[in-house]
Amino acid sequence: MIEAKSAGDFTNTNKRRKEEAAKVGQLRRNHGKNIRYILFLCGYFDSGYLGYEAAEGIDWVWEHRMDDLIKFGL
C-alpha cells in the first residue's frame, strides 16, 4: 500500500506521525505482518518524523525520487 503525504511545514508532520503508526498496525493486524506500507512524501518531513516512521516499520519514497519505488519491486 502506498499513501501520498504532503506537508507545508514541520508542525503538521509531528501531529500526523502517530496516525500512520496506528494505521500500519491496524493493517498488519487485519491483513498479516507481511503488508508493506510506503509513504510517498512531498514537502517538509524532518528526521524526527522519518525516524518515528522507520521505528514502526514504515518505508518512504520522496516525490523527487520516484525511481526508488523500484527497490520495493514496484
- Give the model's pLDDT for residue 46: 87
- Give the model's pLDDT for residue 10: 66
- Cα–Cα separations (whole angstroms), residue 38 to 11, 20, 47, 54: 21, 10, 16, 10
pTM: 0.83
- Give the model's pLDDT for residue 11: 67
Give the integer Cα–Cα distance in Å for 31 and 65: 28
Contact in structure between 50 and 59 (CB atoms under 8 Å): no
- Give the model's pLDDT for residue 18: 81
Give the integer Cα–Cα distance in Å for 32 and 51: 23
C-alpha cell at 63: 516525490
pLDDT tens sequence for the chain (74 residues):
899 998 877 666 777 778 888 899 999 999 998 888 999 999 888 888 899 999 999 999 999 999 998 988 87
Residues counted in the chain: 74
